[in-house]
């Protein structure tokens, strides 16, 4: 017998795969099939020697040499928290009896697990902000993000946010907003267009239109990033895996940003940290303990990293692990690196600020404020009332016969190149018309002091050891720690889940 170490939501997925195929009579049958079809390490060597996934192991990426002497994550290789987590990962103390697991081996009519906002089954220590200095006076704050959670972190202009691996192999999603205005945020598409699909050390993060300006610089990176895959969501797990009620980056991000009043639809496409992809395929995660990615803030930012909730793809090698986030003051060298990065990325120069007007009639308030007291939107506002003479059908200003609305009016004629060139508010200094719309009034982001985290599905992340019968000799042939995991339990989990996903045939994204 061997132990298949999985969490509850992975157990549910395996039961779903087994239930769909009458040829699979049990979990043991699925495990046996997975081992039979698993590639031998010698035949799968191309996976480890692929230049896109193995370059990280052969040489440091650009900019890493600057950080090797004393990287932000150096002490994490001997971090007591990391050592404890390796010996006792979150939920690993739970060793369920096979009869209680309710997997397809012995209970096809299993009851659905209860979902909800349960506390984490094994909360990580030190998961709060540390105000006292850590690793020197430059560090202002530190967080440890548990699996299934995220954290909205204020990073002032001239500060550095660093995300560091504790156990390795963990993908992290990142959203970025400017603190001065919730409407300005990271534009992953523009960043990809300028920096490429895998931004690295020395590349710039750009904000959305109409600002389109540098908001942060990647100072140092010892791992890969990705801009091609969208965040995992309820849709992805329903459509490709048949699963519901499980951890996903969509809901983790939405909960993390709620601390600052950001609404669900305000999240943007994530910058994927510690994620390797190529040609629409997710490669194995090669991030190691102590690997890190550091960002220099060029403006006051709200940076929101979240621990990717995906445990069914190569994204985090079928596991969920904590990461460390620190905020510290930048050095003079950091500022110089940032200056050079912006100068290089800007090419022949940045455009002048967008000509949109601020706080015009279209935007007297933030569109997300929802304040009924806003007179511009109040039902009692005469400008919105049917009885308002300015909006009345009988108003001569709105009459079709009104010469001011006549198609013959030269000010409204399609052939008029300036559309009333005498209107100074509509014409720029260059003679071209400025856009007629107005930007919403700037809406500063502020933390809600009453916020209490409520991340969903954390109870489902507790690990359980499921006893299964297997061919020990065959497992020894294919376990391949370099590809599948750091120990027998992880290797068996990865082999079985990889095979189950391939067998289901709905998700083509794993390498």
The pTM of this model reads 0.72
Q: Considering the domain boundaries, does residue 439 fall inside one?
A: no
Residue with tokens 């010892």: 222
Query: How many C-beta atoms surround the C-beta of residue 60 within 10 A?
Result: 15
Count Cβ atoms within 10 A of the Cβ of residue 377 and give its class: 0-12 exposed, 13-18 middle, 19 or more buried. Answer: middle
Contacts of 203 (CB under 8 A, 6+ apart): 191, 195, 196, 217, 218, 341, 345
Q: Tell me if 413 is assigned to some domain.
A: no
d(CA 225, CA 227): 7
Residue 400 lies in a domain: no
Asked whether residue 363 is domain-assigned, the answer is no
Q: What is the pLDDT of residue 11?
A: 95
SS3 342: helix
Element (H, E) at 477: helix 472-478
Q: What is the number of alpha carbons within 13 Å of residue 323 lying toward its C-beta?
A: 33
**For each successive 10 residues of the chain (511 residues), what is the average pLDDT?**
92 95 92 90 45 36 41 42 49 35 35 36 37 60 97 98 96 98 97 96 96 97 96 95 96 98 97 94 93 98 98 94 97 97 94 73 40 40 41 44 44 44 45 59 95 97 92 89 78 93 84 65
Helix (H, G, I), strand (E, B) or coil at 120: coil
Whether residue 210 is preceded by a cis peptide bond, meaning omega within 30 degrees of 0, is yes
Q: Check: CB of residue 448 under 8 Å from CB of residue 259.
A: yes
Q: Is residue 434 part of a domain?
A: no
The CA distance from 6 to 463, in Å, is 5
What is the pLDDT, as a whole number, of residue 280?
Answer: 86
- Confirm whether 19 is domain-assigned: yes
Q: Judge whether 151 lies within some domain.
A: yes
How many residues are listed for the chain in this entry? 511
The closest of 368, 350, 355, 351 to 444, measured between CA atoms, is 368
Handedness of CA 34, 53, 236, 249 (dihedral sign): positive
Domain count across the chain = 1
Cβ atoms of 45 and 484 within 8 Å: the answer is: no
| Cα–Cα distance measured from residue 206 to residue 200, given in angstroms and rounded to the nearest whole number | 14
What's the angle, vertex CA 275, arms to CA 274 and CA 276, rounded to 5? 125
C-beta atoms surrounding 22 within 10 Å: 7
Cα–Cα distance list, 191 to 201, 270, 304, 322 (Å): 13, 11, 17, 27
- Angstrom distance (rounded) from CA 5 to CA 94: 10
Report whether 160 contacts 334 (CB < 8 A): yes
Give the three-class secondary structure for 345.
Answer: helix
Contact status, residue 86 vs residue 167, Cβ threshold 8 Å: yes
On whether the CB atoms of residues 86 and 168 are closer than 8 A, the answer is: no
- Residue 428 within a domain: no
Question: Cβ neighbours of residue 233 under 8 Å, at least 6 residues apart?
Answer: 248, 249, 250, 251
Query: Which residues 6+ apart lie within 8 Å of 358 measured at CB?
Result: 438, 439, 441, 442
Q: How far apart are CA 85 and CA 243, in angstroms?
A: 28
Domain range for 80: 2-350+448-504
Both structure tokens of 349 = 């120069």
335 contacts: CB under 8 Å, gap ≥ 6: 158, 296
Nearest to 226 by CA among 258, 203, 259, 253: 203
């Amino acid at each position: 017998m061997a132990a298949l170490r999985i969490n509850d939501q992975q157990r549910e997925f395996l039961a779903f795969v087994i239930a769909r195929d009458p040829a699979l009579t049990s979990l043991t049958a699925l495990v046996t099939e997975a081992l039979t079809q698993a590639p031998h390490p010698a035949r799968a060597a191309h996976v480890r020697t692929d230049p896109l996934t193995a370059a990280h192991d052969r040489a440091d990426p650009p900019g890493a040499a600057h950080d090797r002497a004393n990287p932000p994550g150096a002490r994490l290789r001997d971090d007591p928290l990391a050592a404890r987590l390796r010996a006792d990962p979150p939920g690993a103390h739970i060793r369920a009896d096979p009869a209680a697991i309710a997997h397809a081996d012995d209970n096809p009519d299993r009851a659905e697990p209860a979902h909800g906002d349960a506390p984490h089954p094994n909360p990580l220590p030190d998961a709060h902000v540390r105000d006292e200095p850590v690793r020197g006076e430059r560090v202002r704050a530190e967080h440890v993000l548990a699996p299934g959670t995220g954290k909205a972190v204020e990073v002032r202009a001239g500060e550095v946010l660093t995300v560091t691996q504790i156990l390795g192999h963990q993908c992290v999603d990142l959203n970025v907003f400017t603190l001065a205005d919730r409407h300005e945020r990271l534009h992953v598409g523009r960043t990809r267009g300028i920096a490429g699909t895998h931004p690295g050390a020395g590349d710039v993060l750009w904000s959305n239109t109409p600002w389109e300006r540098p908001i942060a610089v990647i100072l140092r990176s010892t791992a890969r990033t990705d801009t091609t895959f969208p965040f995992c969501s309820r849709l992805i797990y329903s459509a490709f895996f048949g699963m519901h009620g499980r951890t996903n980056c969509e809901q983790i991000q939405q909960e993390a940003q709620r601390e600052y009043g950001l609404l669900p639809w305000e999240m943007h496409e994530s910058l994927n940290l510690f994620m390797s992809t190529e040609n629409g395929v997710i490669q194995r995660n090669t991030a190691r303990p102590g690997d890190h990615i550091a960002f220099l803030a060029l403006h006051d930012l709200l940076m929101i990293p979240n621990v990717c909730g995906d445990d069914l793809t190569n994204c985090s090698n079928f596991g969920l692990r904590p990461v460390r986030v620190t905020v510290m003051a930048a050095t003079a060298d950091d500022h110089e690196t940032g200056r050079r990065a912006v100068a290089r990325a800007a090419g022949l120069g940045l455009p002048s600020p967008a000509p949109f007007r601020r706080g015009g009639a279209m935007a007297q308030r933030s569109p997300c404020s929802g304040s009924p007291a806003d007179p511009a939107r109040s039902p009692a506002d005469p400008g919105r009332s049917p009885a308002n003479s300015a909006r009345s059908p009988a108003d001569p200003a709105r009459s079709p016969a009104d010469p001011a609305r006549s198609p013959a009016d030269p000010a409204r004629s399609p052939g008029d190149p300036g559309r009333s060139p005498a209107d100074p508010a509509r014409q720029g200094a260059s003679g071209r018309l400025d856009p007629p719309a107005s930007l919403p009034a700037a809406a500063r982001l502020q933390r809600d002091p009453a916020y209490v985290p409520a991340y969903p599905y954390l109870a489902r992340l507790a690990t359980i050891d499921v006893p299964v019968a297997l061919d020990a000799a065959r497992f020894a042939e294919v376990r391949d720690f370099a590809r599948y995991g750091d120990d027998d339990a992880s290797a068996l989990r990865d082999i079985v889940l990889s095979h189950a996903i391939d067998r289901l045939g709905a998700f083509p994204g794993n390498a």
